[in-house]
Amino acid sequence: MDRKVFLYVLRKRHERREILAFESHDEAGSEVPKGSVEPGETLVEAVRRELREEAGLHTANEPEPISTTIWRDEEQTFFRVEGSDAALDRFGHMVAGTGIDASLVYRYE
């Protein structure tokens, strides 16, 4: 069974909580960083790698698992990650790695 991680990266901004999201290149609408767990990789290692690959971000905080579910023969684990309150409001990042989204530019707002 394939395993995927989904990252809900949060920050506090002007007394509100905000979530890091980008507009999908297809018809999915807004998305959060996510990706497959590679062989031999822990879930937390996958979270940190996907955050680097899809958003160019690093976190010193420990990702917190929220929930795990099975959907269409995939084990999906959702994580909460505390982002930097000083993060940019808008930025673009070219996806690193070798997946189907490699070299796409995600625009975060």
pLDDT in tens, 57-100: 888 789 999 999 999 999 999 999 987 654 555 555 555 666 66
- What's the pLDDT tens digit per position in 11-38? 887 888 888 887 766 666 788 899 999 9
Delineate the domains of the chain, giving CATH numbers in brackets.
Answer: 2-108 (3.90.79.10)
Find the mean pLDDT for residues 36-57: 92
Q: How many CB atoms are located within 10 Å of the residue 71 CB? A: 8
Find the mean pLDDT for residues 2-11: 93
| Phi, psi at 54, each rounded to 5° | -95, -20
Distance between CA atoms of residues 82 and 14, nearest Å: 16
